[in-house]
Amino acid sequence: MTLYAVGLGQTAPGALTNVLGTFDQRLQAPLALGFGSIATQDLVVTLSRQFISVYEIEVTIPATADLGTTVPLGLQIAPTGLGPFFAQDNLTIAITNP
């Protein structure tokens, strides 16, 4: 699945102002993502090639993820030299069995 975010920080190679991202512009800071009580390690974060200044988070929902219509979605980023930052605390996602 693809999630979209803004304001995640620096990429490598660096981004240019008012220019779409390229396939190789990956987020430099570590990003943690969780579905309910289950964290995932299977994610890639790049600048969007369709939207300026938007990040695309490609992620696979773990098979053991919590199910429901309002599963909490946790997003944490930890830039080098700074403490971790959390996304807003009221993000949810609907997850059902396939």
| Confidence (pTM) | 0.87
β-bridge partners, 57: 3, 45
Considering the chain, what is the average pLDDT of its residues? 90
**Percent of the chain whose predicted confidence (pLDDT) is above 90:** 58
Sign of CA dihedral 86, 87, 91, 95: negative
Give tens-digit pLDDT for 20-60: 999 899 999 999 999 998 988 889 999 999 999 999 999 99
For residue 35, give both structure tokens. Answer: 């579905």
**Percent of the chain whose predicted confidence (pLDDT) is above 70:** 99
Higher pLDDT, 97 or 58: 58
In the structure, what pLDDT confidence band is assigned to residue 84 with cuts at 50, 70 and 90?
confident
Q: Of 83, 84, 65, 64, give the one whose Cα is nearest residue 75.
A: 84
